[in-house]
Structure 1
Amino acid sequence: MTRFGYTLMTEQSGPRELVRYAVAAEEVGFDFAVCSDHYSPWLSEQGHSPHAWTMLGAVANATHRLPFMTYVTCPTMRYHPAVVAQQAATLQILAEGRFTLGLGSGENLNEHVVGQGWPGVVDRHDRLFEAIRVIRELHSGRTVNHRGRWYQLDAAKLWDLPEQPIPLAVAVSGPKSVERFATIADEMVLTSPDADAVSSWQEIRQRKPGDTGPSRVTGQLPISWDTDRDTAIRRAHEQFRWSMGGWEVNSNLPTPTAFDAATQSVRPEDVAEQIPCGPDLDAIVEAVRPWREAGFTDIALVQIGDERQEEFLAKAAGPLLAKLRESDN
């Protein structure tokens, strides 16, 4: 049975609003939530970027049932992996076992701000692999001394660890990263409905000693629900045209200004072809179908635009979830 999630999109909403939306998402019946972790919005029109970890601490306290995950945190530049390990351990205690640590190799948009440049993809994956090893070691409760290529730890130990292990999900971008990270992560995050990647991931995981079966695979689908389709298309174009460039572009552009310049030729109708817009819930169900058929166990919806979040959660989310679950049977 597919699980359906709600996205706490830090790029388009403030921290108090995001906590309120998480509570509403739990009440309406979403199965889980995911939260972006950015230093900057993709486009200036989105207008926000609060600190994800601070906000998630409040979400852990305000909700009771809703599992949630970072989608995703980069533990290699803006954060040292030792800090991410501590943040994740504390958050899992506050969440009483509902938290999943989602990790990825990052985007220039968020990581360049610490003034260390932006490495190539091979170095980014090497850094991520080493960071995951560091986080795993610290979550064991042992005192860690580490002298690696990218990170050093001197007698580092976490003093507050949760009783429940912290599942670790990793965002992959192609066959090489699938093969590499399936051996070290528990779950996969993928930005497109790639059935081959899902199949390869599960096959590698099944060969791992002690594996307990297929792992969780999470994807994300943007939607622009509104009672008026033209309004929904305008909002999707204004705030989500950045997504049309694909991951190779999106991971390397450095600023909202750069994303604005790179998407000047993207038309509203181009966005509407890729993102379901308007009041038709069946169109959203149909857009979910390729993800489900590709083998995704978890699909998170992104309702575009802060101005329609409360109305979406109050009026559309319940009937939409019912339709999605009915189509899943």
Structure 2
Amino acid sequence: MRIGYFLSSEEYTPDELLAQARGAEKAGFEGLWISDHYHPWVDAQGESPFVWSTIGALSQVCSLPVTTAVTCPTVRIHPAVIAQAAATSAVLLDGRFVLGVGTGEALNEHIFGDAWPSADVRLEMLEEAVEVMRELWRGGFVEHRGRHYTVENARIYTRPETPPPVYVSGFGPKATDLAARIGDGYVSTMPDGDLVRRFREGGGGDKPCQAGFKAAFAADEDAGADIAYEKWPNAGVPGELSQVLPSPRHFEQAAQNVTKDQVRSAFVCGNDPKAHLEMIDRYAQAGFDEVYVANTGPHWQGLFDLYADEVLPRLRR
């Protein structure tokens, strides 16, 4: 299993994300995830740099492969523009770039005042968006008139030798079926073996399956839980609310009903390497090929040291 580090654009400045990328590579992580947000989930997280600028900078400071986890190429940014951004990123990263895509959240995608589509429509839009991007990556001028998107006289001139793989996020059966049908890989954040099997049996076969989880490194578990609860109370917000709530203040309101223990259960808190190894094993048992860990709070160097000294050596024995 490949172990990577998850750069949280919602919580750190661009400079901090670059420093974390350098630290992750030095610690022995094998890849990077990076989130694509217009807003943080709650104001306590406090950041949200433009992911495509950060990816360009990442290409100059480390040699790790980078996956967007995930970009929504349907509403906030037209898929023809995402296709150009992904192509440039793949060139800068010399082929070490994967475009992870998903149907998005109103939190990030509603900013122009467009109606937020139903889940089924968002999946339909995502499928057409991926079709548009792949057509543009093949080269030549593209004319596309579909149900959701129009492209006229568009050509991407700066392209990698091989188009970037497209991994599709899926947290339910319909999205997982779409990932199996059109994706070059599968993305999730849950150690759900049933969905991995659904992806593989539905057409995904042996394509890569990536997942990620969050940690809060601190002197002990309680201190880590305090940090996680302060920064990510939205981790306990249930059901489809994460897809439909439109602003950080709405997540803060929903999170008033979330307890610290609920957030603790969604994180690996503290500095016990055994807890991290147990979480990674849950994803391994579910069938994932790659898992990415994010740190919340100020102690990310402590997490890097823990992985370099205790976690990664045990996994590689």
TM-score normalized by structure 1?
0.93
The equivalent residue for 1:167 is 165
Query: What's the C-alpha RMSD, in Å, of the aligned pairs?
Result: 1.5
Deviations 1:214-249 (A, max 9, x none): 111111111111123322111011112201124512
Which residue identity is paired with 2:253? Answer: A
* Mapped partners of 1:190, 1:25: distance in 2: 21
* Mapped partners of 1:184, 1:241: distance in 2: 33
Give the 3-state SS of the residue equivalent to 1:276 in structure 2.
Answer: strand
Matches within 5 A, 1:94-173: 94-173=92-171
* Mapped partners of 2:238, 2:261: distance in 1: 17
1:321 lines up with 2:311 in the alignment: yes
Which residue identity is paired with 1:191? Answer: T
Shift of 1:323: 5.2
Shift of 1:180: 2.5
The equivalent residue for 2:191 is 193
The equivalent residue for 1:16 is 15
Query: Contact 1:14–1:48 (CA<8 Å) still a contact in 2?
Result: yes
* Mapped partners of 1:71, 1:102: distance in 2: 5
Q: Determine which of 281, 294, 302 is the counterpart of 1:311.
A: 302
Query: Contact 2:179–2:185 (CA<8 Å) still a contact in 1?
Result: no
Shift of 1:251: 1.1
Give the 3-state SS of the residue equivalent to 1:73 in structure 2.
Answer: coil
Shift of 1:288: 2.0
Shift of 1:324: 5.3
Query: Contact 1:15–1:50 (CA<8 Å) still a contact in 2?
Result: yes
Query: Contact 1:220–1:302 (CA<8 Å) still a contact in 2?
Result: yes
1:237 lines up with 2:229 in the alignment: yes
Structure 1 residues 264 and 83, CA, compared in 2 at 3 Å: closer, same or farther? same
* Mapped partners of 1:128, 1:248: distance in 2: 18
1:282 lines up with 2:274 in the alignment: yes
Structure 1 residues 264 and 320, CA, compared in 2 at 3 Å: closer, same or farther? farther
Query: Contact 1:8–1:36 (CA<8 Å) still a contact in 2?
Result: yes
1:254 lines up with 2:246 in the alignment: yes
Which residue identity is paired with 1:310? Answer: Q
Give the 3-state SS of the residue equivalent to 1:299 in structure 2.
Answer: strand
Structure 1 residues 324 and 197, CA, compared in 2 at 3 Å: closer, same or farther? farther
Which residue identity is paired with 1:242? Answer: N
Structure 1: give runs of 5+ residues left out of the alignment.
207-212
Greater displacement, 178-187 / 66-75: 178-187
Which residue identity is paired with 1:119? Answer: P
Query: Contact 2:237–2:258 (CA<8 Å) still a contact in 1?
Result: no
Query: Contact 1:219–1:300 (CA<8 Å) still a contact in 2?
Result: yes
Which residue identity is paired with 2:172? Answer: G
The percent identity for this pair of structures is 37
The equivalent residue for 1:209 is none
Shift of 1:301: 0.4
Query: Contact 1:285–1:323 (CA<8 Å) still a contact in 2?
Result: no
Structure 1 residues 283 and 247, CA, compared in 2 at 3 Å: closer, same or farther? same
Structure 1 residues 95 and 127, CA, compared in 2 at 3 Å: closer, same or farther? same
Shift of 1:176: 2.0
Query: Contact 2:167–2:179 (CA<8 Å) still a contact in 1?
Result: no
Deviations 1:94-135 (A, max 9, x none): 000110000000001000112212111111111101000000
Shift of 1:320: 4.1
Structure 2: give runs of 5+ residues left out of the alignment.
none
Shift of 1:165: 2.7
The equivalent residue for 1:78 is 76
Which residue identity is paired with 1:6? Answer: Y
The equivalent residue for 2:209 is 217
Deviations 1:19-77 (A, max 9, x none): 1111111111101100000000011101100001101100011112x111100000001
Which residue identity is paired with 2:55? Answer: L
Query: Contact 2:4–2:33 (CA<8 Å) still a contact in 1?
Result: yes
* Mapped partners of 1:247, 1:51: distance in 2: 27
* Mapped partners of 1:79, 1:324: distance in 2: 42
Structure 1 residues 26 and 310, CA, compared in 2 at 3 Å: closer, same or farther? same
* Mapped partners of 1:279, 1:251: distance in 2: 32
Q: How many residue pairs end up in the alignment?
A: 317
TM-score normalized by structure 2?
0.96
